[in-house]
Chains A and B, each alone.
Chain A
């Protein structure tokens, strides 16, 4: 029985981390850095200097814990183009396809057995994503540089 995983986690533009939320891990910090590097590249490519919202998908099998990533994000975003970006984390569920009977079923991350025929040779169809889904950027009215 796994603990409840929120379907959607939201880090607001002005969310500050509080002492009890700073139990983050180096792992999630490095994933956040990779995320923000990708976002910065996309923003720069479009000529935007403010990132308003970032939407990512995390599956239960991706090896990253959404709450820890949210906490790390609030720290790592400081001082960059995403300094006040909101982060939305959409959690996916584990879906497997059975190699014996072909059926797809939703299941727990440590029980990847076909719900239809009980087969134990399965492949993960969804649930291991760690994906940048969407970026919302604010475009400047004019292209003149900000002082």
Chain B
């Protein structure tokens, strides 16, 4: 596609050149969200999740912050009590979905090719390959990216963003959109704080607080001796709040509207 010589003008579209058409101009006020199409599909996804009583969490971070590792540790801790599934998003490979499946949990891999984020349409397609019946918890592990995923509603109920201690502690200030959109910020690889002089959790917390939402921040260490207690507590609180009617984790619930 050439932008400089006008070779995009073809016999088919030449008639669209303004100076060839006589007529009058009409101004139309629109006021429509540019992402309205995505949002419609996201609403549809959310209805689908609600019908099945599944809590859906959109997990975001920069590449390498430890999303998949945290999911692996979470599954090992919770799989005997809760039915969990994962939708993975990456540009290429199904490495992450394979890691999840190795723990006995269904995982669908979306490979986006070049798209730097997941959108509601991609998630909708993935749901064709995943049964939500009986599921308690669905994680959507977004593409590693602190910029774009924040703008695209997928139909999730909660946004969780990881910030690893090997990144800068001013990241919430540098990436306000995604951190402000988060319901929880997880400080991952926290076991490395002892050996890292530069990362000050208090500074990260202050930058997060400056985004006006009083978002909680939890420390996790998912490798070696996993220390993810507060994260598991948060998950269980959210699941309990999500389904106020008490039921055993494995009970088959008939589809009930909200």
**Interfacial residues, chain A to chain B (CB-CB below 8 A):** 13, 16-17, 22, 25-27, 30-31, 34-35, 37-38, 42, 46, 48-50, 52, 56, 61-64, 74-75, 78-81, 83-84, 96, 109-113, 120-124, 128, 130-141, 146-147
- Which chain B residues have a beta carbon within 8 Å of chain A's beta carbons? 1, 3-4, 8, 10, 13, 15-18, 21-38, 114-117, 147-148, 150-151, 172-174, 176-177, 180, 207, 209-214
Report how far A136 CA is from B8 CA in the complex, Å.
Answer: 23
Question: Contact at A121–B8, with CB atoms within 8 Å?
Answer: no
Nearest CB of B to A123, in Å:
7
B34 near A110 (CB under 8 angstroms)? no
The answer to whether B31 touches A52, judged by C-beta atoms less than 8 angstroms apart, is no
Query: What would 24 A/B residue contacts be, using CB atoms closer than 8 Å?
Result: A13-B18, A22-B3, A25-B116, A37-B37, A63-B147, A64-B151, A75-B1, A96-B212, A110-B176, A110-B210, A110-B211, A113-B210, A120-B209, A120-B210, A128-B177, A130-B35, A132-B34, A133-B30, A135-B27, A137-B25, A139-B23, A139-B25, A141-B21, A146-B15
CA distance A135 to B26 in the complex (A): 8
A131 touches B34 (CB 8 A): yes
Complex contact B147–A27 (CB within 8 A): yes
Contacts beyond the supplied A128-B177, A141-B22: 9 A-B pairs with Cβ under 8 Å: A25-B116, A56-B34, A79-B13, A113-B210, A121-B212, A124-B180, A136-B26, A136-B27, A138-B26
| A46-B4 Cα distance, complex, nearest whole Å | 31
Contact residues in A for B38 (Cβ distance below 8 Å): 34
Contacts of A124 in B (CB 8 A): 180, 212
Which chain A positions have C-beta within 8 A of B25?
A: 52, 136-139
Whether A109 pairs with B176 at a CB distance below 8 angstroms is yes
Query: Least Cβ distance of B18 to chain A in Å?
Result: 6
